[in-house]
Amino acid sequence: MNVKMKPDNLLVKPAPSFDEPIEMLKACHERIAAQCATLEKLVAHLPLHGPDTQAQQAARNVMRYFDVAAPHHHADEEQDLFPMLIEAGQRQRSMVPERIASLLDEHRLLDAAWAQLRTVLADIAEGKARPLERGWVDDFAGAYRKHMALEENEIFPFAQACLDRQQLATLSAAMVARRTITPQ
């Protein structure tokens, strides 16, 4: 087998660790964007192929991500990052607290949109023929992209500029704890 290496394949950026919580949140955004792209492909796939094996697997993958990882990501922000930034923003008389209030509202809207999409995806995952509305997917993916852009362009740079090592360590520990399964 003859494999050609592209130059950009040689310089693969290592995945961030929880020691870099803001970078980890950015990496979550990359995964959210990838899941949104999968949803968009699924909209195009279903009319041609129906809920075939590929569609079923795609639906399961998207559901797994938005049922588990996305809620962790929202909790990372809502319970840990945003309170720190609201406090810092108030001290600095920044617009960040208002931006965060808007982001929190968007989280509720994204959660509601996900609940609507999930019901259709659950049927597709089981092989049932259900139309996946392009408008729903476009609205969901578009809202997430807008949401992530605001966080990446305003919120995360503010966090990197104002959070100290101890605050970042606290954020990191909370993120790890949220994802740690404790045996019962």
Angle ∠(99,105,109) on CA atoms, nearest 5: 135
CATH level 2 (architecture), domain 19-174: Up-down Bundle (1.20)
What integer pLDDT is reported at residue 78 of this predicted model?
98
pLDDT at 184 over 90: no
User: Could you tell me how far CA 67 lies from the centroid of its own chain?
Assistant: 11
- The predicted-structure confidence for 102-128, as pLDDT tens digits, reads as follows 999 999 999 999 999 999 999 999 999
Report percent pLDDT > 90 for the chain: 87
DSSP per-residue letters across 37-95: HHHHHHHHHHHHH-S-HHHHHHHHHHHHIIIIIHHHHHHIIIIIIHHHHHHHHHHTT-S
What integer pLDDT is reported at residue 16 of this predicted model?
77
Cα distances from 46 to residues 32, 62, 90, 131, in angstroms, run 21, 15, 49, 7
What integer pLDDT is reported at residue 30 of this predicted model?
96
User: Could you tell me how far CA 69 lies from the centroid of its own chain?
Assistant: 7
